[in-house]
Amino acid sequence: MRTKSKWSPGPGIKVQSVISSEQGDWVVSACGPESGICPDCRHQSRSRHGWSYRRLQDLPIQGNAVTVKLQLRRWRCTYRQCRRQTFTDRVPAIASPYARRTTRVAEMVGLLGHSTGGRPGERLMRRLGMSISDDTILRHLKRNAARIDDDPPARIVGIDDWSWRKSWRYGTIIADLERRKVLDILEDRSVVSVARWLKQHPSIEVVSRDRCGLYAQAAREGAPQASQVADRFHLMQNLRLAVEEQMSLSGRAAGRALLPDGNIEIDHDDRATRNQLPERSRRNQLRRAHQQSRKDVFKTVHALSTEGLS
């Protein structure tokens, strides 16, 4: 099916035809502007040197792939003092130079890549009608991360480890917590590499990290002016461990209520002695005390059941 359209995807771009194949895919043919502007001297030229053809992947239509065939002109620069002899039309509103997909598809790739990663992003893009490999998604993320932007230096960063290969090789990821973007990925999780990175960024004021002493030492050496804080996840983890420890000391409330009053008395001298024991020994003692408490509850329940209580 061939149709004519006057829709213009960009300034000076004219759509010549829209064709639907038997498989349901769409091909949009378009032509570039009638004149070109030299990217170096900014002089306009109408002296055509040749043609340049680009195939761009665009957003799908109802799950069907869309390909834009863009025919651009190659121009001669007529300004004699310009070093560039020929140039091709630039269409930044549609696609970046040498890109194989439109700008809006590239934005979608970057968004899904940051959100899901390589292989999940590949499966989701294929399901949406935009086939793209996981390597391309990761390459797109690395290319965007390497670009120099005009953002102010980072002040609040988060540092954590991540696995290249679980239980075998780990790296370090550093993120800007204010702008919510990744600043850098280090190949290892050593004090030397993290401290070196922090020294290269003296604007850092706050370092959010986990409970690992490695990153604490790296922050002290690389950013002594910064304050170290725990992130939200590890604050909740600390709270959970504290609650578990308190529950182990006091026993389960439901189980203690079934015991006689004499069994719930706490020996304060014994508690002070337990607090002075090493961590592992104290945990073992707490575990044995908890097991004994459960046994007492078990015996009490069976004794009450034998008496005929429900």
Predicted confidence (pLDDT) per residue in 21-44, tens digit: 877 788 888 888 878 888 888 888
- Tell me what pLDDT residue 266 has: 44
224's tokens: 């002594």
- Tell me what pLDDT residue 94 has: 83
pLDDT tops 60 at residue 265: no
* Strand, coil or helix: 25: coil
pLDDT tops 80 at residue 138: yes
Query: Which of 143-152, 180-189, 215-224 has the least mean pLDDT?
Result: 143-152
Q: Of 119, 111, 38, whose CA–CA distance to 81 is shortest?
A: 38
Considering the chain, what is the average pLDDT of its residues?
80
Q: How does pLDDT run across 56-107, given as a tens digit for each residue? A: 888 888 888 888 888 888 888 888 888 888 888 888 778 888 888 888 888 8
- Contacts of residue 97, defined as CB under 8 A and 6 or more positions apart, other chains included, come to 90
146's tokens: 């390497």
pLDDT tops 70 at residue 109: yes
- 29-43, 144-158, 172-186, 255-269 — most confident range: 172-186
pLDDT tops 50 at residue 289: yes
- DSSP letter at 188 equals S
Q: Which residues pair with 69 in a beta bridge?
A: 29, 55
Query: Which of 13-17, 68-72, 96-100, 276-280 has the least mean pLDDT?
Result: 276-280
The alpha carbon torsion through 74, 76, 82, 83 (nearest 10 deg) reads 60
- Tell me what pLDDT residue 206 has: 92
